[in-house]
Amino acid sequence: MPSYRSILTVTTLLPARDPQDVEAAARHAVESSTTLEAFQVDVVSGQPRVTVRFASTDDAEARSVHERVLLQVRTAAVVPAAVLARVVGGRSVPLR
Protein backbone atom coordinates (compact mmCIF):
# COMPACT_ATOMS: atom_id res chain seq x y z
CA MET A 1 0.00 0.00 0.00
CA PRO A 2 1.54 3.37 -1.02
CA SER A 3 2.46 6.02 1.53
CA TYR A 4 1.48 9.68 1.30
CA ARG A 5 2.22 12.87 3.20
CA SER A 6 -0.08 15.76 3.99
CA ILE A 7 2.26 18.70 4.52
CA LEU A 8 0.58 21.73 6.12
CA THR A 9 2.02 25.12 6.95
CA VAL A 10 0.33 26.30 10.16
CA THR A 11 0.64 29.97 11.08
CA THR A 12 -1.81 31.00 13.81
CA LEU A 13 -3.75 29.05 16.39
CA LEU A 14 -7.44 29.89 16.59
CA PRO A 15 -8.79 31.38 19.84
CA ALA A 16 -8.84 28.95 22.76
CA ARG A 17 -6.74 26.40 20.83
CA ASP A 18 -3.28 25.10 21.57
CA PRO A 19 -0.70 23.09 19.61
CA GLN A 20 -2.01 19.80 20.95
CA ASP A 21 -5.36 20.55 19.28
CA VAL A 22 -3.62 20.73 15.89
CA GLU A 23 -2.01 17.35 16.42
CA ALA A 24 -5.21 15.77 17.70
CA ALA A 25 -7.19 17.09 14.72
CA ALA A 26 -4.66 15.76 12.20
CA ARG A 27 -4.38 12.38 13.87
CA HIS A 28 -8.15 12.00 14.14
CA ALA A 29 -8.67 12.81 10.44
CA VAL A 30 -6.26 10.07 9.39
CA GLU A 31 -6.93 7.41 12.03
CA SER A 32 -10.66 7.47 11.29
CA SER A 33 -10.05 6.14 7.77
CA THR A 34 -6.58 4.66 7.25
CA THR A 35 -3.24 3.85 8.87
CA LEU A 36 -1.27 6.70 10.39
CA GLU A 37 2.40 6.00 9.76
CA ALA A 38 4.00 9.10 11.28
CA PHE A 39 3.27 12.57 12.63
CA GLN A 40 5.87 15.32 12.72
CA VAL A 41 6.06 19.04 13.50
CA ASP A 42 8.98 21.09 12.15
CA VAL A 43 9.86 24.73 11.69
CA VAL A 44 10.75 25.45 8.05
CA SER A 45 11.75 28.94 6.95
CA GLY A 46 10.48 30.24 10.28
CA GLN A 47 7.00 28.72 9.95
CA PRO A 48 5.57 25.67 11.71
CA ARG A 49 4.94 22.74 9.41
CA VAL A 50 2.84 19.69 10.25
CA THR A 51 3.53 16.52 8.28
CA VAL A 52 1.17 13.56 8.50
CA ARG A 53 2.31 10.36 6.79
CA PHE A 54 -0.34 7.77 6.06
CA ALA A 55 -1.04 4.69 3.94
CA SER A 56 -3.67 4.77 1.23
CA THR A 57 -4.78 2.44 -1.54
CA ASP A 58 -4.43 5.01 -4.34
CA ASP A 59 -4.12 8.71 -5.17
CA ALA A 60 -7.89 9.28 -5.10
CA GLU A 61 -8.25 7.92 -1.58
CA ALA A 62 -5.13 9.87 -0.51
CA ARG A 63 -6.69 13.10 -1.79
CA SER A 64 -9.78 12.38 0.30
CA VAL A 65 -7.70 11.75 3.44
CA HIS A 66 -5.67 14.90 2.75
CA GLU A 67 -8.85 16.99 2.49
CA ARG A 68 -10.08 15.59 5.82
CA VAL A 69 -6.74 16.40 7.45
CA LEU A 70 -6.87 19.93 6.08
CA LEU A 71 -10.48 20.49 7.21
CA GLN A 72 -9.80 19.11 10.70
CA VAL A 73 -6.61 21.09 11.26
CA ARG A 74 -8.38 24.26 10.13
CA THR A 75 -10.70 23.85 13.14
CA ALA A 76 -7.67 24.56 15.33
CA ALA A 77 -5.35 26.77 13.26
CA VAL A 78 -4.87 28.88 10.15
CA VAL A 79 -3.41 26.80 7.30
CA PRO A 80 -2.23 29.05 4.44
CA ALA A 81 -0.55 26.25 2.48
CA ALA A 82 -1.07 22.52 2.10
CA VAL A 83 0.50 19.91 -0.17
CA LEU A 84 -0.32 16.26 -0.73
CA ALA A 85 2.67 14.15 -1.74
CA ARG A 86 3.26 10.51 -2.52
CA VAL A 87 6.30 8.98 -0.77
CA VAL A 88 8.66 7.54 -3.39
CA GLY A 89 12.00 6.20 -2.22
CA GLY A 90 11.63 8.12 1.04
CA ARG A 91 11.10 11.44 -0.76
CA SER A 92 7.94 13.51 -1.12
CA VAL A 93 6.65 13.82 -4.70
CA PRO A 94 3.79 16.37 -4.79
CA LEU A 95 0.58 15.25 -6.46
CA ARG A 96 -0.97 17.64 -8.93
Could you list the residue range(s) of the whole structural domain that residue 57 is in?
Answer: 3-89
User: Is 48 in contact with 42 (CB distance < 8 Å)?
Assistant: yes
The residue with greater pLDDT, 32 or 23, is: 23
Structural domain count of the chain: 1
E strand or H helix at 67, and its extent?
A: helix 59-73
| Interhelix angle 19-31/59-73, nearest 10 degrees | 150
In a domain, 26, yes or no: yes
pLDDT value at residue 61: 95
In a domain, 94, yes or no: no
Average pLDDT, the chain: 94
Q: pTM for the whole thing?
A: 0.92
In a domain, 52, yes or no: yes
Q: Which amino acid is at 60?
A: A
Q: How confident is the model at residue 4 (pLDDT cuts 50, 70, 90)?
A: very high
